[in-house]
């Protein structure tokens, strides 16, 4: 699972995610990973929540699409993700949402689309503004990266209070991607307090260390 905070405006996009990956069966820490995927050839980025392996395979697939921009690509996404959904046996309890955010040459502004497995991966144009997942009511951003860090720490604290089977398991570090004027900057802006503990736990689970 993934914690994500993103703010989309016509002139700028800011995305922050955690880096912790868990095993799908036992829900134990597995590895640290990047959860957004830059697409410089499309002046944009792809990220997802839910099944990490599906997101990775979708990113690799995007390198093989002949598409000029986000609107052109949008024509092919739904049917392609539906096939992946069957491959990964998605269900009501096993879901994925894929996001594409790119600079539209046609509209001369940043544009975002969401594709949710709970909606058969149908294309949904994203309104501008701030979004958090897991959701934080009345979330507000006035500066970055500080407010993004505070919000994700809040997401993590609230997630840790949930029953084990309902948790998203937020951890590792916070990576941030900023796009503006067709430029892209990626930074690691925060490390959670239990990073070393999780890392050592992952090392202990390696076959060679058992």
- Cα–Cα distances (Å) from 90 to 54, 79, 119, in that order, read 10, 15, 12
Please check the confidence at residue 23 and state whether its pLDDT lies above 90: no
Q: What is the pLDDT of residue 24?
A: 73
What CATH number should be reported for the domain holding residue 9? 3.60.20.10
- Cα–Cα distances (Å) from 88 to 52, 53, 97, 159, 169, in that order, read 11, 9, 13, 25, 21
What percent of the chain shows pLDDT beyond 70? 100
88 falls within a domain:
yes
207 falls within a domain:
no
Please check the confidence at residue 25 and state whether its pLDDT lies above 80: no
205 falls within a domain:
no
The tens digit of pLDDT for each residue in 172-187 reads 999 999 999 889 999 9
**Three-state secondary structure call for residue 115:** strand
206 falls within a domain:
no
Q: Which of 48, 33, 47 is nearest to 171 (CA)?
A: 33
> How sure is the predictor about 5, in pLDDT bands with cuts at 50, 70 and 90?
very high
Please check the confidence at residue 14 and state whether its pLDDT lies above 90: yes
The tens digit of pLDDT for each residue in 95-141 reads 999 999 999 989 999 999 999 999 999 999 999 999 999 999 989 99
119 falls within a domain:
yes
Q: Decide: pTM greater than 0.85.
A: yes
> How sure is the predictor about 203, in pLDDT bands with cuts at 50, 70 and 90?
very high
Q: What is the pLDDT of residue 31?
A: 93
61 falls within a domain:
yes
203 falls within a domain:
no
Can you give the residue range of the structural domain that contains 46?
Answer: 4-198
Q: What is the pLDDT of residue 110?
A: 97
The string of DSSP letters for 11-71 reads SEEEEEEE-EEE-TTT--EEEE---EEEEGGGTEEEEEES-HHHHHHHHHHHTT---SSHH
Beta bridge partners of 39: 44
Q: What is the pLDDT of residue 63?
A: 81
145 preceded by a cis bond (ω within 30 of 0): yes
Q: What is the pLDDT of residue 201?
A: 93
Terminal-residue alpha carbon distance, the chain: 26
> Count of domains in the chain?
1
> How sure is the predictor about 75, in pLDDT bands with cuts at 50, 70 and 90?
very high
């Amino acid at each position: 699972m993934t914690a994500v905070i993103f703010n989309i405006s016509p002139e700028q996009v800011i995305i922050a995610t955690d880096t912790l990956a868990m095993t799908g069966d036992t829900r134990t820490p597995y590895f640290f990973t990047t959860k957004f995927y830059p697409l410089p050839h499309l002046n944009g980025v792809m990220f997802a929540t839910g099944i990490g392996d599906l997101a990775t395979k979708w990113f690799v697939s995007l390198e093989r699409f002949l598409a000029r921009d986000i609107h052109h690509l949008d024509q092919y996404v739904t049917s392609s993700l539906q096939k992946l959904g069957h491959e990964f046996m998605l269900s009501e309890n096993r879901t994925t949402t894929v996001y594409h955010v790119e600079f539209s040459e046609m509209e001369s502004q940043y544009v975002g689309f969401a594709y949710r497995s709970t909606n058969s991966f149908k294309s949904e144009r994203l309104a501008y503004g701030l979004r958090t997942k897991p959701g934080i009511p009345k979330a507000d951003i006035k500066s970055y990266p500080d407010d993004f860090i505070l919000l994700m720490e809040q997401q993590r604290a609230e997630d840790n209070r949930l029953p084990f089977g309902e948790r998203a398991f937020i951890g590792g570090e916070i990576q941030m991607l900023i796009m503006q004027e067709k430029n892209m900057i990626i930074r690691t802006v925060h490390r959670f307090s239990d990073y070393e503990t999780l890392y050592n736990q992952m090392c202990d689970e390696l076959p060679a260390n058992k």
